[in-house]
Amino acid sequence: MNLSVIKLGGSLMGCPELPLWLDCIESAAKNSNIIIVPGGGKFADSIRTLQKTYHFNDLVAHRMALLAMSQFGYLLTSMNPQINVVSNFHDLSSNLGKQSPLLWMPLSLCDDDSEIESSWDFTSDSIALWLAIKLDAGKLILVKSKSLNNDRSLIINHINNNDIDQGFQKLIDNYSGEISFLLKDQYQFLA
């Protein structure tokens, strides 16, 4: 079966399309392996604000942002109990092929991985790309609140416009799969 990594942006939090995305992902997982990477959304935004107030270092902010991703992840699994949480990277492969989507909580791995910098340059976009590289996923889908061109040669423009994070540029050359940017209302493209 094919493998797709889908990053659900935290900007979907509170959007009426979010349950529709989860339903489409659940349905698509019957014919394809799907791993969801949750964004940080409002949870991560609050960490940025707190860092400006309390001046804690980027390592602390990075760890807190990973927890923010987990918070959104738990929200997603509460909305669709068919999504199975996997916390350990090494358990992902053994959980594939079960015809239900997986949701990866990256905290345990990213604290120790030297390929993921502890900075705001590596947010959930880069973490999803990193996972797609590690698992040799055929597709990486990033669900965003802004329309982005899927042309790979325009990635640097998306980075310069702050539509995707800086870390993406550092990792992109290691990924040979397909990259798609979908809007929050394009959930039907999974069907």
Q: What is the pLDDT of residues 60-90, one digit of tens each?
A: 999 999 999 999 999 999 999 999 999 888 8
Residue ranges and CATH numbers for the domains of the chain are 3-190 (3.40.1160.10)
Cα–Cα nearest to 179, from 161, 153, 146: 153
Give the mean pLDDT of 155-163: 95
Of 103-112, 158-167, 169-178, the poorest mean pLDDT is in 103-112
Give the mean pLDDT of 1-15: 94
Q: Which amino acid is at 168?
A: F
Cα–Cα distance for residue pair 31/135, rounded to 1 Å = 18
Cα–Cα distance for residue pair 85/79, rounded to 1 Å = 13
Cα–Cα distance for residue pair 70/76, rounded to 1 Å = 10
Helices then strands, counting H and E runs in the chain, come out as: 8, 6
pLDDT of residue 112: 66
Residue 109: pLDDT band (50, 70, 90) is low
Residue 53: pLDDT band (50, 70, 90) is very high
Size of the chain, expressed as the number of residues it contains = 191
pLDDT of residue 49: 98
Cα–Cα nearest to 69, from 116, 124, 137: 124
